[in-house]
Chains A and B, each alone.
Chain A
Amino acid sequence: MAMPRWFAPLTVVVAAMFAYAPISIANAPIESTMLLVQKIFYFHVPSWFVMFSGAFLCAGASVRYLTKGSREADHYAITGAELAVVFGLIGLITGPLWGRKAWGVWWQWDVKLTLALVVWLSFVAYLLLRRFGGPGSEKLAAAVGIFGAVNIPFVYYSVNWWRTIHPKTSVVPTLGPGMRGTFWFCTLAFMLLMVLIAALRVRLERHRALVNDLYLELED
């Protein structure tokens, strides 16, 4: 079970991108109303992109696991859920830091914050279930992954009708040219980092399953 051939070159590319990211962010023009604080945006928004990608990876892999019973799909599902939780945590930490300076409050019950928090909680629940549910909890966890992803539009609409103040999604296309480049550069760096971590984590999970099988065989 060697790493795929693209792994080493991609690691170099991602490392270089993350090394250049601070320079690119420093050179990006300063936003007129929020000034320097707005720069956290270049890491904050890409973290959310990775979290939602992780959530959908988990849900897609869970569907495959439930229908086909493929264990490989289950490895992808747990990888997706862990990525969602880790990058969601980055988003949940950088968000309030930004919000405190931009809005004057740490937290707002706005649609994007609440949606992110609820989705994040769903995948924390997914991991708790896998950790403490005992044997056979992978299947149950797969249902949680699917339900968590299907729930996203419902949470979105219910919180949206409830209240909203977050910058609109349309903020990204209206960014100044200097800011837009940096933003997409950071997003690409985060997405590639996600691919790297996912490859590592899936490999680890494969090994874990293999060791487990060998253990069982030894006992029989």
Chain B
Amino acid sequence: MRFLRTILLVLRKDLVVELRSGEILYTTAFFAVSCVLVFAFGFVREGRDLQDVAPGILWIAIAFSGTLALGRTFERERQSETLRALIVAPVDRPALYLAKLIGVTTLMAAVELLIVPLAALLFDAPLFRHALMTAALLAAGTVGFSAVGTLFAAMLVRARSRDVLLPILLYPLTVPVIIAGVRGTAALLQQPEPDLAIARMWLSLMVSFDVVFITLALWTFEPLMTD
């Protein structure tokens, strides 16, 4: 009960701060849109996009903007040492991790609400043909990415050169999520018929990745955040 209350309190604090300033949401969303555009200029020739290009661009935009959101979220906690205050508070550390994870995932989901329709529109991709499966793939991928990202971003708060270290650490470790996300989405977009069996296979890989890495992060968060 106390555990849930801690999660809700920290989450509410983060959301209130974000709703009042809108800083991370607006900047990250605009960054994601720019990302999609830059890749579109790279891959669209004579008005037609290369086959299979939409899922790749979509997931790269998610990964890049997610990195930005992670960095900004914890940069905010670094000012006035508020992360230290959270850590020394007499609450369960895993609850802090989960609250941050839910917060980052919510932010990334808000950005995805913008760029998924944009990608569908710009690349004429039938992303809403199986809307539920698309949503499931996006959810599993986003949770996997932010599960690893939240732990590392939290730990990097005290490190030097954290801005560049976060993507360096994060991308090699989230390769399975990116491959699964891109291939799963590509299977859904396949013409003329989507390959649901393949999409389900990739979804199951991402779900197992999520379970393993959230467990691992919950276990390591406690020893990592103590001095």
Contact = CB atoms under 8 A, between A and B. Distances in A.
A121 interface: yes
Contacts of B202: 161
B160 A134 contact: yes
Interface string B153-180: 0011011110001001101110110011
Q: How large is the interface on B (under 10, 10 to 19, 20 to 34, 35 or more residues)?
A: 20 to 34
A157 B183 CA distance: 13
A20 B31 CA distance: 58
B201 interface: yes
B212 A150 contact: yes
Given A146-B216, A154-B176, A161 B159 contact: no
- Secondary structure at the A interface, as helix, strand, loop or mixed, is helix
Contact of B173 (A128, A151, A162): A151
B224 A143 contact: yes
Interface of A: 66-67, 118, 121-122, 125, 128-129, 132-134, 136-137, 139-140, 143-144, 146-148, 150-151, 154-155, 157-159, 161-162
A155 B227 CA distance: 32
Contact of A147 (B168, B180, B213, B227): B213
Given A122-B173, A129-B165, A133-B165, A140 B224 contact: yes
Nearest to A147: B173
Contacts of A140: 152, 155-156, 159, 224
Contacts of A155: 175-176
